Structures are given as structure tokens and as C-alpha cells.
Amino acid sequence: MTFGTTKSTISSFLLICVVGTVAEATKKPHVVLILADDLGYNDVGYWGQNHGSAAKTPFLDSLAENGVRLENYYTHSVCSPTRGALMTGRNRIDIGLAHGIIHTTQIEGLPLDNVLLPEQLSNCGYNTQMIGKWHLGFSSSKYAPWNRGFHGFYGFLAGSENYWSKWLPMARHSNIGGVDFTDSTTGPTNETWGQYSAHVYASRARYVIQHHDQSKPLFLYLPLQTPHTPLGAPSHYYEPFKDIEDDDRMKYLSMVSVLD
Ligand SMILES: *[C@@H]1O[C@H](CO)[C@@H](O)[C@H](O)[C@H]1NC(C)=O
């Protein structure tokens, strides 16, 4: 298990890679790769507590304690370049993502001549599943995760949406938009309306881990939206942070707790 947050200043990511028990038929390990979005270096409990941060992450702390900590690594500063680099192993200037994120109204996606991590693992016999946020192209189904190496996808395609309604505005401050949520086995769906997405993803992840074909090794990519904006969590998560004066900070740390 490896564990680390990046030191990029604008936007930070947490990567947790859990390598599970070996699938008997193939002797290849099961891999769960969890990505947290916009998590600051000091927003993880065991780092933050030495830097005046009120972040509480007992579960992540225990994973880190029992795993390998990568304490000094860097990523690109925003979503699409970082996710593109993770999926391809290539620098953003080599994958057409030097400019920044892929906007909702943009037709480009991660260029199709790249072989992505799930495609390669699929070639190695893996059952590849993705649950969460893609943000690597959505203008055409050819860019969608289910056509780029993932056998199953459950989540949203763009950059950030309402955690409960899954509503995605087409542009900033716009009321025009739609529900961005897809189950690749059935298609676009509004079925998770009203449920907080981190919980929806966690319960799907549990289901996939419990029910996947045991004869094949599993690769589960779990990039959660939490704690990316828009800020907000189910209100009982606010309770431990209610003394924090800054409302945004209070909500943000509550979202980190949900992640934990
Ligand atoms: C999604 O479902 C909810 C609850 O039934 C409903 O209020 C909402 O209008 C639906 N959204 C869309 C875009 O259909």
C-alpha cells in the first residue's frame, strides 16, 4: 500500500494504492487505486496535526502507518493534466493537456493514440473497473472511460458537480446544464439523485470488491470528487468542526472526514 499527497500549490491529490490478496488463478495482485481531489498536504490528519490543521483522518492515518508513505512527490497543478499523466504515464505536454483542464464545452479529450493504464492491465488479464470522476474527455463516447480500457464505469465525466443532485452547470454561474452520472451497464441515470456522491461511490466500490469474478485480478480505480468544490457534506459531518469560524474551512474539513 502506498500513500501520499502532492505538494503542488494550486490543487492537490491524494493517491492510495491498496494491493490486495492475489487472485489464485493468475497470481496477479488485486489493485485498488483511490484518488482524492483537491486535498491539501496538511489536510491529512497525521501531517496536519503538526501544522495547526484541524483535519481528522484516523482511517487514512492508520493506512499510512501500515503502508509506504511517499512524502515528496509532485503532480501537475490541476485535474485533467494530472489524471491524463496518471492514466498514460506521460507528461501533459505530450498528451495535449498543457493548457489546463478540459472544460465542459470543450470537444477535446485525452488523445486516442495513448494506451491507458486500464487498457494495459486489461491486456494482462485484469477486470478493470472505475468508480468516480473522469475529466479526460466527454464530447464523444470515444473518449469515455468504458471505451478506454475500463470494463465498467460508474460516476461522472466532467470536472465538478453538485454532490447530491449530480447537476453539472454548462458554464460558471449558469443554470443551464444537466445530470452528469452514468452507469456504463445501463447508461446515463438520475437514480442516485439526493444521495451524497462519496457514499454512493463507496457503496458501489464495496459491491464491486465483494462480487467481482474471483478468477481474474481486479483493478479498481476510485477517483472520488471529495473534497473538491462545491463545498458541503451531510450536516452531521459538520459537528466535530463546528468551532471553526471560517464556514468554507469547516465544510471542507467535513468533506475530508467523509473521504476518510
Ligand atoms: C432527478 O430525480 C429527482 C427526484 O426524483 C427529480 O426531482 C429531478 O427533477 C430529476 N432530475 C432530472 C434532470 O430529471
Ligand 1 pocket member 168 (CB < 6 A): no
CB of 193 sitting under 6 A from ligand 1: yes
Catalytic residue list: 79, 135
- Give me the mean pLDDT over the 10-20 stretch: 62
Distance 125 CA to ligand 1 centre (A): 39
**8: CATH:** 3.40.720.10
Predicted local distance difference test score (pLDDT) of residue 8: 46
The pLDDT of 28-38, averaged and rounded, is: 95
According to DSSP, residue 219 is labeled E
**pLDDT the model gives residue 13:** 61
What are the DSSP calls for 104-137, one per residue? TT----S-TTSPPHHHHHHHTT-EEEEEEE--S-
What are the pLDDT digits (tens) for 52-71?
Answer: 899 999 999 999 999 998 88
Whether the CB of 190 sits within 6 Å of ligand 1: yes
**Is 179 touching ligand 1 by the criterion CB < 6 Å?**
yes
pTM given for the model: 0.92
Distance between Cα 201 and ligand 1 center (Å): 19
- Residue 182's closest CA among 172, 173, 192? 192
Q: What is the pLDDT of residues 196-210, one digit of tens each?
A: 999 999 999 999 999
Domain that holds residue 209: 2-259
Stretch 237-246: mean pLDDT: 97
Residue nearest to atom 5 of ligand 1 (CA): 193
The reported pLDDT for the residue numbered 93 is 94
On the question of pLDDT at 5 being above 70, the answer is no
Joined together, the cell numbers standing for residue 224 give: 472520488
Buried b (16+ CB within 10 A) or exposed e, 177-188: eebbbbebeeee
Q: How many domains does the chain have?
A: 1
